[in-house]
Amino acid sequence: MRIQKITQNNKRHELPRALQTGFPSAATHYTETPIDINQELVYNPEATFYLRVEGNAYTHLHIFDNDVLIVDRALKPQSKSLLVITHQGNFGIQAYTQVPPESILWGVITYVIHDVR
Amino acid sequence: MIALVDCNSFYASCELVFCPDLWGKPVVVLSNNDGCIIAANKEAKALAHIPMFEPVFKIKSVLEAHQVHMFSSNYTLYGEMSQRVVQILKQFSPMVEVYSIDESFVWLSTPIGTSYLEIGHAIKNRIFKYTGLPVGVGIAPTKALAKLANKLAKKDPAHAHVCVLNTQHDRKKALQKTPIQTVWGIGARQAKKLKHIGVDTAYAFTQLPRAWVRRELTVTGERLWKELHGARCLKFQTQPPCKKAIGTAKSFGKKLDDLSLIEEACASYVAEVSEALRSQHACARYLSVFLQTNFHSKTAEQYYNSTTYTLPYHTQNTLLLTQAARYALHKIYKPGYLYKKVGVTLSGIVPKSNVQGNLFAAPKHTDTRLMHIIDTLNIKYGKGQIASALTGWRKKEWELIKEQRSSRYTTQWNELLKIR
């Protein structure tokens, strides 16, 4: 029997409470909590790290200079995964299919944050 | 059963998670002011002449010869990594007692369809996968035995860092393998006393008559004796007991003789201890300040003095405490000396709910709100963002040295680990 993690409850529904001082709105029972990016993008907070990309070595993977990677160490790599690996003492980003031998998995990239301003 | 999970060479291991170029190489972590070694990974420990807490200047040549990489302590990073480990442990059980920054006790319920050994390995593997930190796990019926099992898990490679003491036979063998001075709860003097009567292992200790242990080692020794026999005496604690005194005394980065700089350091330390005081919802009546020169110097003039200021009523107001500290510091400061450190201690601590004013002065209710706002802002924007003016803006001139501190990879957005 595998020991499994207790999955997180998605607490998006709020208990209804009319806050209007005048006429209470019919929308009260449909209230939900606002979108929280932390909840949507981070699956395993204890295993999630943020890495800053320097340089343009990974533009072929659509990862650019100054991007921030959300890296999850808890996820199992899949065929389409982009991985952070260490190879001969250095960090590197590789697609699952292109991982060099003798490299060690550090984490799976889930999202790339790219500032477009 | 109770598991004791602790990280191997915790501070060094935290640094190594982010430095694959140092894996397999000797690494040490230094104390405040880069003075002594407070952590070493297994490659550094294997090198002779690198004992723990050794001042760096004494072994600088050894460190350089073996290319030992040195890190200044990065407590922010270690604290955050420690929280991750605790959260992972809570996935295995709701009853987790955080014993120290790198050790926790976990209460495990009877496994169904698996064994304690498998759970121990699952804990170890999950912590390593999620955080990169290597840990050891000891599982036994009591806290003291779990600690013992944990030590064996590390010492004996056959265990692969997980040791379970499930049966009487296992417990007996484990107790026989454990030298008495390494038992948790037995101090150096007690170990000496026991060795004197021929007790040199934990097993021999358990064979002593209970009444003798009670008489010679007091009730704490007796509790340990019972725990090693498999009877639980030490309770599960979620909160540490309230501190009776809170103090801090960090050395300066360089020796100071300027009173105004010492005042700045002193005011910063007062802010720190006041925060700790408020976090346990308490107030203090006495504030002590001490000032000392460098005792290690053979040539410098030596001076040490301290004084205690009695506040008009128990308070947790940083501003009031800062004024008191300034007054106290002025009383003991003498010009012409090169001071190494100033220390601040709060005592006469009582819970906030018990505070009474006195006839001539009373705490203002607005004080509490002011402190609360300051604390909230500092939590949000960073340590010391809002502070009394006495803390000044010349921190670099007295702050302790951390030449080689790594980035705060997990708490500062502009200090993220870089990948190229």
User: What whole-number distance in Å separates Cα of residue B356 and Cα of residue B105?
Assistant: 39
Asked if A54's CB is within 8 angstroms of B418's CB, the reply is yes
Q: According to the model, what pLDDT value does residue B97 have?
A: 95
- Among the partner-chain residues A46, A50, A91, the one whose CB lies closest to the CB of B20 is A91
pLDDT tens-digit series, residues B196-236: 999 999 999 999 999 999 998 889 999 999 999 999 988 88
Task: Count other Cβ atoms within 10 Å, centred on residue B100.
Answer: 10
Average pLDDT over residues B346-351: 93
Q: According to the model, what pLDDT value does residue B126 have?
A: 97
Mean pLDDT, rounded, of chain B: 91
User: What whole-number distance in Å separates Cα of residue B109 and Cα of residue B119?
Assistant: 11
Percentage above 70 pLDDT, chain A: 88
Q: According to the model, what pLDDT value does residue A81 have?
A: 94
Which of A18-22, B283-287, B305-309, B351-355 shows the lowest mean pLDDT across its residues? A18-22
Residue in the block written with tokens 């002594």? B36
Q: According to the model, what pLDDT value does residue B235 have?
A: 87
B20–A contact, CB cutoff 8 A: yes
Average pLDDT over residues A30-56: 92
Residues 6+ apart with CB under 8 A from A25: A18
Burial label for B123, CB within 10 Å (0-12, 13-18, 19+), is: buried
Backbone angles phi and psi of B121, in degrees to 5: -70, -35
Q: How far is B91 from chain A (nearest CA, A)?
A: 6
Look up residue A82 and give its two tokens: 């982009």
Asked if B114's CB is within 8 angstroms of A74's CB, the reply is no
- Among the partner-chain residues B84, B112, B413, the one whose CB lies closest to the CB of A46 is B84
CB B343 within 8 A of CB B325: no
Asked if A53's CB is within 8 angstroms of B20's CB, the reply is no
Backbone angles phi and psi of A93, in degrees to 5: -115, 130
Q: What is the CA radius of gyration of chain B?
A: 24
Q: Which residue has the higher pLDDT, A102 or A32?
A: A102
**Amino acid (one-letter) located at B154:** K
Using a cut of 0.90, tell me whether the model's pTM lies above it: no
CB A106 within 8 A of CB A71: yes
- Among the partner-chain residues A6, A44, A52, the one whose CB lies closest to the CB of B416 is A52
How many Å is the maximal CA-CA distance in chain A?
68
Q: According to the model, what pLDDT value does residue B1 have?
A: 94
Nearest to B323 by CA among B379, B292, B367, B276: B367
Burial label for B398, CB within 10 Å (0-12, 13-18, 19+), is: buried
Residue A1 has pLDDT above 60, yes or no: no
Q: According to the model, what pLDDT value does residue A52 have?
A: 97
User: What whole-number distance in Å separates Cα of residue B383 and Cα of residue B79?
Assistant: 15
CB B105 within 8 A of CB B145: no
Beta bridge partners of B139: B3, B164
Q: What is the DSSP letter of B341?
A: E
Beta bridge partners of B2: B107, B140
Mapping DSSP to helix (H, G, I), strand (E, B) and coil, where does residue B158 land? helix
Chain A residue at shortest CA distance from B420: A54
Cα angle, residue A69 at apex, residues A68 and A70 outer, rounded to 5° = 120
Asked if B130's CB is within 8 angstroms of A52's CB, the reply is no
Residues 6+ apart with CB under 8 A from B361: B312, B313
| A46 contacts in chain B (CB < 8 Å) | 84-85, 87-88, 130-131
Per DSSP, the residues of A28-92 read GGG-BPPP-HHHHH-S-GGGEEEEEE-SSTTGGGT--TT-EEEEESSSPP-TT-EEEEEETTEEE
Residue B133 has pLDDT above 90, yes or no: yes
Nearest to B270 by CA among B334, B162, B344, B186: B344
Q: Which residue has the higher pLDDT, A14 or B280?
A: B280
Contacts from B305-308 at CB under 8 Å and sequence distance 24+?
Answer: B305/B332, B305/B334, B306/B332, B306/B343, B307/B331, B307/B332
Look up residue A64 and give its two tokens: 């650019």
Q: According to the model, what pLDDT value does residue A3 have?
A: 67
| B84 contacts in chain A (CB < 8 Å) | 45-47
Q: According to the model, what pLDDT value does residue A11 have?
A: 61
Average pLDDT over residues A83-103: 93
B88–A contact, CB cutoff 8 A: yes
Asked if B122's CB is within 8 angstroms of A47's CB, the reply is no
B109–A contact, CB cutoff 8 A: no
CB B213 within 8 A of CB B360: no
User: What whole-number distance in Å separates Cα of residue B229 and Cα of residue B309?
Assistant: 49
| B81 contacts in chain A (CB < 8 Å) | none
CA dist B260 → B196, B287, B393 (Å): 55, 20, 11
B385 pLDDT band, cuts 50/70/90, is confident
Q: What is the DSSP letter of A13?
A: B
B33 pLDDT band, cuts 50/70/90, is confident
Average pLDDT over residues A12-31: 75
**Amino acid (one-letter) located at B91:** Q
How many Å is the maximal CA-CA distance in chain B?
73
Instruction: List the end-to-end C-alpha distance of chain B, in Å, as a whole number.
Output: 46
Average pLDDT over residues B338-348: 94
Q: According to the model, what pLDDT value does residue B84 have?
A: 97
- Among the partner-chain residues A5, A6, A54, the one whose CB lies closest to the CB of B419 is A54
Q: What is the DSSP letter of B183?
A: S
Q: According to the model, what pLDDT value does residue A61 have?
A: 94
Nearest to B318 by CA among B243, B240, B396, B391: B391
- Among the partner-chain residues B112, B113, B416, the one whose CB lies closest to the CB of A68 is B416
User: What whole-number distance in Å separates Cα of residue B47 and Cα of residue B221?
Assistant: 36
Average pLDDT over residues A40-48: 95
- Among the partner-chain residues A3, A47, A55, the one whose CB lies closest to the CB of B130 is A47
Asked if B419's CB is within 8 angstroms of A84's CB, the reply is yes
Instruction: List the end-to-end C-alpha distance of chain A, in Å, as a whole number.
Output: 50
**Amino acid (one-letter) located at B262:** I
Mean pLDDT, rounded, of chain A: 88
Nearest to B179 by CA among B169, B167, B192: B192
Residue A59 has pLDDT above 90, yes or no: yes
Chain B residue at shortest CA distance from A56: B420
